[in-house]
Amino acid sequence: MINYQTKYIAYTPYVFCLKPVKSNSKHISPCFLSQNGSPRRAKMKKTNVDRVLCVSLLILMSSGKMDSHSPAFNDKAQLVLPEFYNIGWMKELDGNTLLSDITIPGTHDTMALYGGPAAECQAWSLEDQLKAGIRYIDLRVYAFKNTLYLMHGIIYQHSKFTMALDTLKAFLSEFPSETVLVRVKPDLFDKSKVQESVEKLIEGDSSVWMKSTIPRLDEVRGKIVFVQEDSFLLGVPLSETDTKGDYKVIHISDKEKETFQHLNQAMKECGGNSIILTYSSGTGIGTFEGMFLTPKKVAEKINPWLYDYLQMLLAEGSPVCFGIIAMDFPSVDLIQTVIKFNM
């Protein structure tokens, strides 16, 4: 299948993005970033590629909200926690436990809240994700001049890295028993600038763990722990069960089998010299057969399957470690199910 988006970017000097009409709104209007990163109005050439792209975007943006009653899936922006919910769940864990021995609920593309069905991967804000129990976050960062912007591909997520850092520190100040693992993935242009900028930003900050050794939980309570990515080498080593292209979903049944295999691999590798990461997320966008499988539609099907599989393992009572499970649109019940593997 032709990647129209790639052809479009190559054909014009502009990168497509979406922004809300108001800061508190998810209604979108088109805007553009020039190749140097500054906002510009569109100067589109009337080509067939442009027309196909625009039609594709309109189809994706017009997808209706899903109404799912699964206890494993959530697409509501408001976080509703049960009474007496244990936000600080890591307080119950042995402080001598290595971070690589803990099963950790996480989110894939944590800040992807804007851009329509093709781009959105989460419903809750970062603060609410942390309150729900998420302890691994995945930030896509673009460095432009002296600012680090949070992105999902070419779509700006109306937040900056410093804002996410402030949210994390505020949460950890309120819940000092916890730790949050942070993956920084440099995005778009000048990727090497991201690590340089982050290093300057957190220089001398005792609330951030940047060492490559796997810490014990007590060493990092109340701290942010960076995990390494190919082009971001601060923090502890990260090992992924996914291989290149595994995020693409054409048939949900294939994604279930793939996730099952990855979780089994994670069980075998958990507790080593790196932190193991498995994604339950995926999308069919960019494929022909799965073109209507947005991240939300995949999560609507995969999350209940994942919930049932994990509940089955818990019922068996055998000790299991998975490392990080990074999800799209998880519910409170699904997050709690992941946490129970530590109890």
Half-sphere exposure (Cβ direction) of 260: Cα atoms closer than 13 Å: 11
Claim to verify: residue 21 and residue 116 sit in the same structural domain: no
Token pair listed for 198: 């982050």
Lowest mean pLDDT among 3-7, 19-23, 154-158, 280-284: 3-7
Q: Is the pLDDT of residue 52 over 60?
A: no
Claim to verify: residue 277 and residue 130 sit in the same structural domain: yes
Token pair listed for 256: 């279930």
Average pLDDT (49-68) is 38
State how many domains the chain has. 2
Query: Would you give the end-to-end CA distance of the chain in angstroms?
Result: 46
* Residue 39 CB burial class (10 angstroms; 0-12, 13-18, ≥19): exposed
Claim to verify: residue 271 and residue 202 sit in the same structural domain: yes
pLDDT number for residue 284: 85
Classify 145 as helix, strand or coil: coil
User: Where a domain ends, among 46, 62, 78?
Assistant: 62
**What's the CATH code of the domain at 154?**
3.20.20.190
Claim to verify: residue 218 and residue 245 sit in the same structural domain: yes
- Name residue, tokens 């244990």: 86
pLDDT number for residue 286: 83
Q: Is the pLDDT of residue 1 over 60?
A: no
Please answer whether residues 4 and 52 qualify as being in contact, where contact means their C-beta atoms are separated by less than 8 angstroms.
yes
The range of the structural domain enclosing residue 78 comes to 63-342
pLDDT, tens digit, for every residue of 60-96? 333 334 445 689 999 999 999 999 999 999 999 999 9
Segments in 62-179 forming alpha helices (H): 126-132, 161-174
Token pair listed for 155: 């779509």
Claim to verify: residue 10 and residue 154 sit in the same structural domain: no
Lowest mean pLDDT among 41-45, 147-151, 252-256: 41-45
Claim to verify: residue 144 and residue 227 sit in the same structural domain: yes
User: Where a domain ends, among 42, 62, 82?
Assistant: 62
Claim to verify: residue 260 and residue 189 sit in the same structural domain: yes
- In the chain, the percentage of residues whose pLDDT exceeds 90 is 69
How far, in Å, CA of 72 to CA of 331, rounded? Answer: 5
Claim to verify: residue 158 and residue 227 sit in the same structural domain: yes
User: Where a domain ends, among 41, 62, 83?
Assistant: 62
